[in-house]
Structure formats: structure tokens, C-alpha cells
Structure 1
Amino acid sequence: MSEPLLRIEGLRTVFRTSGGDVPAVDGVSLEVHRGRTLGIVGESGCGKSVLSLSVMRLVAHPGRIAAGRVMLGERDLASLSMAEMRQVRGRDIAMIFQEPMTSLNPVHSVGFQITEAIRAHDPRASNAELRNRGIEALKRVRIPSPERRFDEYPHQLSGGMRQRVMIAMALACSPKLLIADEPTTALDVTVQAQILDLLRELQAETGMAIILITHDLGVIAEMADEVAVMYSGKVVERTNARALFEDPQHPYTLGLLGSIPRLDEDRENLLAIRGTVPPPFNLPPGCRFNPRCPFAIEACRAEIPPLRSIIPGHEVACICAPVEASVAA
């Protein structure tokens, strides 16, 4: 495989509190290649969105990147000035944010918001050219009557259309990497399928890389080439999508998969992972999943297990891995 487009190396993002720095992302290393989709999955509170905002350098105060590198080609985004980073956003990396109704500005038209990135990166573009490019962006995401929609406001659009507008905004400057943070949340199943199909088609047309952040393993199965499972700010399992579903190795991944209903199994009750993700200011000793893990032993409380390779291309942060097939079943 060619050199990765983006390499995240030992990234640590913390938030300053009265009790000291609290880690939201703690030593994460990932990479994504051109034309490929990296899925990042985990429960709410595991650090997925903070990771994406760290890549975009959009973590608000009192958050900050405390360590690590975010390499886009040969440039470390974590070391760029804000002025330099503004030249990267939209042109090289773009992001689809959660909740399009709150991410879109209600007092500006759809067309104004789509062309904002174009104006920033091409200040010489005329108003007529901006309008034409904005309408083309709406056509690209399959919005009907794009000339009319260009002048409308977010409240005049359905949820699915607003999500398409967010995609049009992100792709307006043809970025090399698209970060999609829960792009199908709160959409019905039919619209969700349309949005995922659209992302696949646009990726095939442009060759862009995608980082897909979600809690929905069904979306991961449909879209991702590689998958990273996050828990409490750390990556606990990393492999290709097929291996994750056929041979999951971390107990947390097993729990996530076990909570999904399956047509080929006759179960009265779904499996559930007891407890909740620990708050970053009160982390348990050792493996952060050990209080919820049915396989935990005393050694799990002694130290945080490193991410290690159990077979080529499959890394797990668990001292009990590999899991026997009979246990995984």
C-alpha cells in the first residue's frame, strides 16, 4: 500500500481543569490512505469527536493538543499556526459536523454557507462564479432544484437535505481527506442509506480518503476498509473491517457486536455491556475497560495494556488476547 495520506502519531488532547489536565484523547496513533475509509467506532464519550476536532485544530479552550503529531504528507498540522491551519481546512481536509441543523447558520442562506470556503481559498472569484460553483456543489450531492435551494435557508430544508448541504460545504474545495462525524445520526434508515451511497460515489469519483466516526457498527460494516475501536480516549483494537466482524479480539469489541440483533440467531435478550464509559477525570487503574470486562483478571488492573499485534494487520490492547473462537462466539 502507498504512503498514508494522514498519520496520527501518539496524539494526546487534554482539557485543563481545576484538578489538572484531563485526557480526552490519550496516545492515539492511526493512519488513513488515499481512496480508503477508516472507521472509528465506540460509545459516546470515548473520544471519537475530540480526535476529529484535534485533527482539524478546532478543540476549544480549555482543550489543547499536549503531545503527538498529525502528519498530512510532510506537514505536522499540530505545529501549524492558526493562519496556516485556515489554509488547510476546506482545501486539504474538510469535516462534516454532527447535527446539521445546529452546524448550519440559520441566518445565512445555504448558498452563502457553501461558497464561504470557496471565497476563503479563492478570493478572486466573482459573485457569478461563486454562485455557479455553489449550485454545482448542490447538484453534486443530488439536491433537486439546486438553483432554488441555493437561496433558501436551513430551516426550509429537510434533515436529509441539510445533511447533503453539509456534505456539499465540505466538498466545495475538493479536499483530499473528508472527516464525517456521525453523518447519519437522527436520519431515518432510507435517508441514511442515501447519504452513505452518496459518500461512496463521491469517494469513487474523487479518490478522497474518509475518516468515518460513528457508534453504528452497521455503518462501519457497510463503509469502512479499516476500523479503529476507541474506548476511554484510547484505541483498543485496530484491523480491517472484515477481520473485526469475523474475528473480534478485544472484550469491548465483543460486547459492541454482541449488542446487535442478528437474524441468524434466536435470542430472547441482547447482550449488554454493564456500566458506562468512565469519566476522563476518574479513570480506573490498569486497563480502562477492566471494571466492565467479563474476562478481567488481577493483572488487568496493574497497568494499561499496549496496542500489540496478534497477527499481521490486527492489533489489540488486551493482555488476554487472542480470544479463543469458542469464547468469542
Structure 2
Amino acid sequence: MGDESPLLKIEGLRTVFRTSVGEIAAVDGVDLAVPRGRTLGIVGESGCGKSMLSLSVMRLVPPPGRIASGRVLLEGRDLLTLAPAEMRDVRGSRVAMIFQEPMTSLNPVHPVGRQITEAMRAHDKRASARELRDRAIEALRRVRIPAPERRFDDYPHQLSGGMRQRVMIAMALACRPALLIADEPTTALDVTVQAQILDLLRELQAETGMSIVLITHDLGVVAEMADEVAVMYAGKVVERAAAVEIFASPQHPYTLGLLGSIPRLDEDRERLLAIEGAVPPPFALPKGCRFHPRCPFAIETCTRAQPMLEEVAPGHLAACIRAPVEQAVELVA
């Protein structure tokens, strides 16, 4: 039997920033697990803490931020206890990340091939320049870039947005990491290229057996890619379940609102639903449930009690003092 333990396990992760009003938490007590060879989708509006969670896992939190508490276990090894040099070895070799906008992530003054070989050299200093070039060209070929020998010497501005994103994927997977974190990898791409990138990620996952953490605000992408989904709101996970369960039976009002705002071809709906208001900033969080000012089901208790993430059905967790299943049809009708 294979190893059944999760590849990545996040326990009580809390990331804070020092501000003029004191320390505020951008990620506030998050618990998650990513099984081997599977995809976890993390969804929520902008400002919910999704990207800061990924940067915390990579230990790339920008100052004045810091990880205040928790554990990030990759293959049983707590990344938060590693020395900086040890963490640099882990990045790329065991866990890699691709970002939302490749034009700002790629260095504009170096050919893309050189940038891939530099990523490889960081983890294999004995390889010759010829070996690294051959491996980089093969990496470009794996992500379906045509004429990779020629593209090796191209600069980022000479490539389309879709090809730049493929270069980012090639760079991230150059050392065959066990975990890939993809932060909004298709946001800046048109629908056709987006579908190609998602197909590519699925093919590479099947080929390498890597796990994927897919961070996005696009529930359509999540439905297509994720095995499990975690919904984040104001720095916390408010719902977590298998993807099929999230879409079939959402148990948190925020998730219901997100699903209700998606256009569907199988329904004749005059207008899309909108979640009133906006995500509160970390320095102005409401008391009680953080979603209650925007929640159509809020009661007085919601303004005082902060709900815990608890199992509301087998394998399905939600942080809500009310069971919204009965109201689901009413909300999304």
C-alpha cells in the first residue's frame, strides 16, 4: 500500500502584519491538507487571504509581515522550522509556485531559457551548461511550446501571454517538485488559452503525480480542476469539502452567494445574485461571524459568536451556526 498521509498539511497557520493600529492577521488559524497526487482549490474574493496563504507556505511573506504561529508540514517536515538555506533548497525541488501575471514574474532582461536553467542550477550545481540547456529545452517541450530550441533564446516580451505562462510552468516544474502552488494561473488569459493551460496542468499532474494547490476566484476553474475545495473569507477557511459536495450542497452562506453569482446555461435566470458589501479589511473585522454583515441569514447570535469550522456532514466542514441547506434553494433560485 502507498503512503496515505497528506503531502501537505497546514495546522493553525497565522500570518500577521505590523501596522500603525497594531498587528493584524491576514491568515488567521488555517488548517488544510493536500493529498498526494490530488488538487485542492482555494476560492474566495480578493482580500480573503488566499495569496497570503500561499506565500506563507513558501515562506515568502513580504515585510512587515511574519508567520506568527502554526505548522506547514511538507512530507512530514515542518517548513517553518527550516533554516533559510534549507528552505531555499525546498523551493523548486519539492514545492514550486506559479504566479498570476507571468510578465511581472519573468525577468525582462534575460532570455526565458536562461531563467529556466538558473532555476535548475540552483538545485544541481554539478550539471554542465549543455546539460542544463538540453533539460530546459525539454521542459519547454513538455509544456507544449512549439520550436523550443528557438524559443529558448527569446525574451519574455517576444512571447504571448499564454506562452509566458507556459514558461512559468516549465520553470516551476523544472526540478519535478512534489507540490505545485498555482496562484490565479489563468486570470490574465483569454478563455481559449485558459482551457489550454488547465489541460496542460492536468496532463502534467497525471504524468508526474504532483499535488496542486489551485488558488482562484473562478469557481468554473475549480469545478473543472479540484478534487477538494476550501472557501476562504477574511483570513479564515469557512467551508471545506470535496468539490462535488461544495457544488451540490454548499453549507455556508458565503459559498451559496459565490455559487449564486455564477451564470449558468442550464437555468433561465433573469439576473445574477450579488453578495452585498465587500470583504472587511483585516484591521476592521466585525465581531462575531466575519461574514454576518453581508449574510442574508444572520441572526443576533451571529454578531457575537465566531463560529468554528465543524463537520456538518461526513467529510464536509463549515463555520456557520446555522445550517443553510434549507434556505439554499431560496437563495440561489
Fold match by TM threshold 0.5: yes
Other structure's SS at 1:143 match? coil
1:322 shift after superposition = 4.8
SS at match of 1:124: coil
For the 8 Å contact 1:310–1:322, the answer to whether it is kept is: no
Instruction: Describe the superposition over 1:77-133 as per-residue Cα deviations: whole angstroms up to 9, x where unpaired.
Output: 011111110010000000001100111110111011111221011001111001000
* Contact persistence 2:100–2:188 (CA under 8 A): no
4+ aligned runs moved over 2 Å, structure 1: 325-329
**1:113-262 residue pairs with structure 2 within 5 A?**
113-262=115-264
Q: Distance in 1 between matches of 2:305 and 2:64?
A: 28
Displacement, 1:328? 5.4
Q: 2:113 aligns with which of 104, 108, 111?
A: 111
After alignment, is 110-119 or 36-45 more displaced? 110-119
Change (3 A) 1:318 1:158: same
Q: Which amino acid aligns with 2:175?
A: C
Return the offset for 1:323.
Answer: 2.1
1:323 paired to 2:325:
yes
Distance 2:84 2:240 in 1: 31
Task: Supply the AA of the counterpart residue of 2:58.
Answer: M
SS of the residue 1:134 aligns to: helix
What secondary structure is seen at the aligned counterpart in 1 of 2:175? coil
TM-score (norm 2): 0.97
Matches within 5 A, 1:38-117: 38-117=40-119
Hey, what's the Cα distance between the residues in 1 that align with 2:118 and 2:4?
33
Amino acid at match of 2:265: L
SS in 1 for 2:69: strand
What is the CA-CA distance between 1:304 and the residue it aligns to?
A: 1.1
SS in 2 for 1:90: helix
> Which residue of the partner structure matches residue 31 of structure 2?
29
> What TM-score results when the alignment is normalised by the length of structure 1?
0.98
In structure 2, the residue matched to 1:3 is 5
CA RMSD in angstroms comes to 1.0
Aligned 8 A contact 1:47 1:231 in 2: yes
Unaligned runs of 5+ in 2: none
> What residue identity is the alignment partner of 1:55?
V
Question: Residue 300 of structure 1 aligns with which residue?
Answer: 302
**Residue 320 of structure 1, CA deviation:** 0.5
Alignment of 1:264-275 (within 5 A): 264-275=266-277
Residue 285 of structure 1: aligned partner: 287
Q: How far off is 1:326 after superposition?
A: 3.9
Identity %: 78
Give the superposition deviation at 1:327.
Answer: 3.8
Q: Do 1:248 and 1:328's aligned partners in 2 also have CA atoms closer than 8 Å?
A: no
